[in-house]
A = this chain, B = another copy of it.
């Protein structure tokens, strides 16, 4: 077994009786004579030598690390995105540093200052709320940043976002086609970017289909979690009697489903439900939930690629990508679908 103490170029060089430069060359596969290669290999092996990553980073001016910060861990959609980003950047030889930011915007500011210390070569950021101060900090960053979601006005950064307003449109249209007329909305907080977008899309879609927008049919959960969804759903059902509910994400949809069922109403016969994000949760649910696929995995992959590209070529033109939504229909919104195997 290799030595368990730490070892450096110098130690290996001494043991092999060559210069440190030779060791470096051998370790990096640069040309060297048979003899030297042999002896260095042996010495390195015996010492269990592994080149120090930090020293290399300092020399090279890059860390081979990419930072990822999402506001809402715990939401399954982010887990999937994280997974995908991890896959892509790892394949490109980068490590992924998870920077936990809560919903507090200050966390993100701190993160950006830390980033400027160069602990990573770039950042993928998915902010829930966008403040002016955040915008400034983003603009002033020296390192490449890719935003998942909307960029603050005036900030020129690569970004990928979902078109959740159009997604809402798909959901509403589908429900209208199913003959629903009193379509309610269970949204997340309105002061978040996604929350605002979903509300806008919902109102626009109702209007497009000539349906009235009943304020009592619109509730906003305190956040995008299951628990908050339970309360919001209860409130909704207390104040109106919809025949369909669209939800800002799948967690909220499951919460609505639970409350609806517990009140003795049937899904989809009495109330149809549509979620958003099309996570595994929608499929697991009983009955399975129709959901708007906002292309989370695709967004994640695109974001990772945009960042890799910019790291490769800092001068590349800014790209702003919008991923189109699509609808995955399941049993929760189609009468008779359960029997037909959906």
Contact = CB atoms under 8 A, between A and B. Distances in A.
Determine which residue in A54, A73, A79, A139 has the highest number of CB atoms from chain B within 10 A of its CB, and name it. Answer: A54
Interface string A219-258: 0000000100000000000000000000000000010011
A285 interface: yes
A49 to B, nearest CB: 9
Contact of A284 (B114, B118, B281): B281
B65 A74 contact: no
Contact of A280 (B5, B118, B226, B280): B226
A113 interface: yes
Contacts of A142: 4-6, 48
Nearest to A67: B95
B118 A54 contact: yes
A136 B2 CA distance: 10
Interface string A38-68: 0000000000101111110110000101000
Interface residues of A, number: 53
B100 A86 contact: yes
Contact of A96 (B97, B116, B280): B97
| This chain: copies in complex | 2
A63 B257 CA distance: 47
Contacts of A286: 257-258, 261, 285-286
A54 B50 contact: no
Interface of A: 1-2, 4-6, 48, 50-55, 57-58, 63, 65, 73-74, 76, 79-80, 82-83, 86-87, 90, 95-100, 113-114, 116-119, 136, 139-140, 142, 226, 254, 257-258, 261, 280-281, 283-286
Determine which residue in A5, A53, A76, A142 has the highest number of CB atoms from chain B within 10 A of its CB, and name it. Answer: A53
A58 B54 contact: yes
A114 B65 CA distance: 13
Contact of A54 (B54, B74, B98): B54
